Structure 1
């Protein structure tokens, strides 16, 4: 508990002292910019889906929060090195579980290294092709994560609770999930269109 409060205090301190001031910033922007922001916001939500499984598999999860102040004070390159490995571990483990079935167990380590190198190279090439990472993050957030983080969880939740414990008085659980699904669809359609258009503009300037 104390460590969590300390991490929050450190985050607030760095956010308020090292960030630029609000002077000169616009109070509002266009509707398309709003969907760009929503896309990056949804993209940021994916971090919890990566961090929590890693923390749950740790021998001593309480030590996990000790890394937060160190990362805040560390170099940017070191942060990228750590966070890339952390975010890359979960999707690669999921994919390689099925890929390794196509190869001999005697050379499974070799194939794992090969596939890791291929995926990392692909990520590096994507970063080179899209120097403006904001548009790519926004597109991934609205096109991919709006489905996985908003729409499908609501559908799965309805399937699970439909008979027990039920939809509640006046079917409030049903209406709540329908509302969230509609919000997810708006983010998916409008956000994908706006951020996809920005990606096309960037590709044309390369």
Structure 2
């Protein structure tokens, strides 16, 4: 065999060996990249899940024992899971419609109000001219809902601080004095126009709420009475108050679309099990547990916030009231940001060169208005129920059903026997029932409380 052939064979073998090693390296790198991609995707999903929990877990959890007081133990458990299922299903409907409308309009993402506008624009000719009204209605309901939450927060903070201060002083100030004293600080905090500067307040609030809830559970589970001491069902008259409080606590639809739009893999949000399903199951389970055991512990003495039932003479319980009051106080600024943005976008074109001054004036007026409303309705329980019944039964239940009807009306259609139509009509009727009965019962309770205080 010639030297040339031998050299050629050695070169060929060398090339083959190099190719094999390169192939192995490519496979290893590909596997590492795939593994890294999966890990990143899991991290992104976990981040979204955490944000969903933070957005859904608010002050409403502290009002769940009062919801169970208005429903009874057994009925409260069943009804909370039913309402949780309906709210979760309506979010699925909204996200599904968002995906369809994004494809139709060739845009990457849509917000809640934008979904409604796109649905009506692409819907039947009879509703196309209502697209602007649909978008504005959702924005205004979101604004009213969040400003209503701000009013609830003011009542909550004032009541908790009053309990602590009253224990150490003989001068039992009126609840409204605490609200007025909070107002200058609230105005100052809400002069902050950039959300990133409020992030530290959010971190502090989360830490304080987590610590306060842990200590609250300690009190709830000490000396627990027997199940037989509490009714499984309350009265039909009280059920609308349960509905309003429960939906106020459970409904986090305002955070859903921003979270879904910012996911790296949006299909993971509504998949099976999916971020949404896992998050809402955790939220509903936690809220049910707090409501069940809180009402079991305090029975007919259950107040609008479970923290108000904690002993007033113990320093540990007092620290919980102060911690959660401070946390909710900080949360006010975060809740205030969204309605302020909605209102400012609607009116900023009217002020010409004086926009900055006008914005600060509007911020001040809105804070004063929320304090005024809170002072006028200082009863926490019916106030929470009223906000839930008016705003969240519309935003979380009725609007998603209406949007799906408009989106599906012509393409892809309403299905066999028009089942999409009948299903959504049933959901809308459920929302209307909760809206009407919850609003009536809440206002009736507020009027009766006001009459009692006047007398």
TM-score (norm 1): 0.75
Question: Any idea what the Cα deviations from partners look like across 1:154-179, whole Å, max 9, x if unmatched?
Answer: 11210111111211233221121011
1:173 aligned partner:
420
Question: Runs (4+) of structure 1 moved beyond 6 Å?
Answer: none
Give the number of equivalent residue pairs.
Answer: 187
Would the alpha carbon gap of residues 97 and 180 (structure 1) be closer, same or farther in structure 2, given more than 3 Å must change?
same
Aligned 8 A contact 2:253 2:396 in 1: no
Partner of 1:61: none
2:238 maps to: 33
Give the 5 Å matches for 1:37-186.
37-49=242-254, 51-52=255-256, 75-104=323-352, 106-186=353-433
Aligned partner of 2:214 in structure 1 is: 14
Gaps of 5+ in 2: 1-44, 55-209, 263-319
Alignment check: 8 A CA contact 2:398 2:431 kept: yes
Deviations 1:3-33 (A, max 9, x none): 758x79x79x839934624625443211222
Secondary structure in structure 1 of the residue aligned to 2:240: helix
Distance 1:56 1:174, change over 3 A: closer
Report Cα offsets for 1:63-92 as digits up to 9, x if no partner: xxxxxxxxx9x9223321332112111111
Shift of 1:42: 2.1
Q: 2-side partners of 1:15 and 1:171: how far apart? A: 52
TM-score normalised by structure 2 residue count = 0.37
Map of 2:439 onto structure 1: 192
Shift of the 44–170 alpha-carbon distance from structure 1 to 2, 3 Å rule, reads same
Cα shift readout 1:21-70 (whole Å, capped 9, x = no counterpart): 46254432112222111101222345440x44666798xxxxxxxxxxxx
Q: Once the two structures are superposed, what CA deviation does each residue of 1:116-172 show, in whole Å capped at 9, x if it has no partner? A: 111111111222222212211211221232222222321121011111121123322
Q: Secondary structure at the match of 1:75?
A: helix
How far apart in 2 are the matches of 1:101 and 1:171?
45
Structure showing greater radius of gyration is 2
C-alpha contact 1:38 1:142 (8 A) present in aligned 2: yes
Structure 2 CA distance for aligned equivalents of residues 161 and 154 of structure 1: 11
d(CA) in 1 for partners of 2:218, 2:408: 46
> How far apart are 1:194 and its partner, in Å?
1.0
